[in-house]
Homo-oligomer: A and B are copies of this chain.
């Protein structure tokens, strides 16, 4: 079975880093990822550099990446200005993000959830600043729970998905933004979503904040999901969990899936090299395990 990985290291990964990597390093990294077989990259966010200085080079990065017919570059936008910038930069896809949590959405986008949904609907109808046909993915942050409001049930999530699905998004990405979801919740939620909307392309954005990241990947697959975000080295994170791990680690995820017989189309050895390079660049120990332990198939001399 094919499992699709969307690499978010340059976006969700770098967003939490105090040391901002140079454009030339970012381009080297992207080339390494593509060489390893990565086909989908969430490259950056078109947000105000005052709030996220790590993404201030969004236009420049898009102008310099190697454009290839087999690689899709997406970018995050939270509002009209962001969508406009993403289009001008020729992003292949736009990822609109809002939170299921009122508190989190207010802090992140300075909007109510209802305002965000209305914006999303307008964009999906091709109105507003949208100049041409471009796939629009909708990411629902804190879809399983929010650090301010606690864990959510699917009864809170479903009416929100309903309001988006009507407008035919390219995909819906359910984000466990702060790593709160457990495998039972992930499997049940994904299974329920895929049962209700069988033709909807559903992705999962998982964090390993509480160690459940890879267990949640399997839970998602059991629930019918085949698209997963991941960040090289497991970087990224959550301000409420200092020292805890971040996004699920791309090479650890790919390693586990390939060991289990799934087909990711990605070369783990090349990812390991890229991840070790990232560790040098960021000058800190990353949370990825395979980069330290090697693959299960590696053998040592007695």
Contacts and interface: CB of A to CB of B under 8 A. Distances in A.
Interface of A: 103, 107, 145, 147-151, 179-185, 208-215, 217-219, 238, 240-245, 249, 252, 255-256, 259-261, 285, 288-290, 292-302
A221 to B, nearest CB: 10
Contacts of A214: 211-212, 214-215
Contact of A302 (B103, B213, B218): B103
A292 B148 contact: no
Total copies of the chain: 2
* Main SS class of interface, A: loop
Given A256-B210, A259-B182, A261-B184, A245 B215 contact: no
B243 A285 contact: yes
Nearest to A184: B260
Can you list the 8 inter-chain pairs with the closest CB atoms, starting with the nearest? Answer: A241-B293, A244-B293, A182-B259, A211-B252, A211-B289, A184-B260, A215-B215, A180-B296
Contacts of A181: 296
A296 to B, nearest CB: 4
15 contacts: A147-B300, A148-B301, A184-B259, A208-B211, A209-B293, A210-B289, A210-B295, A211-B288, A211-B289, A212-B214, A212-B252, A214-B215, A241-B292, A241-B293, A244-B289
Contact of A215 (B103, B185, B218, B293): B218
Contacts of A238: 293
Contacts of A185: 259-260
Given A260-B184, A300-B240, A289 B208 contact: yes
Contact of A299 (B149, B209, B293, B295): B149
Given A211-B290, A290-B211, A182 B256 contact: yes
B150 A297 contact: yes
A285 to B, nearest CB: 7
Contacts of A302: 103, 107, 148
A302 B299 CA distance: 49
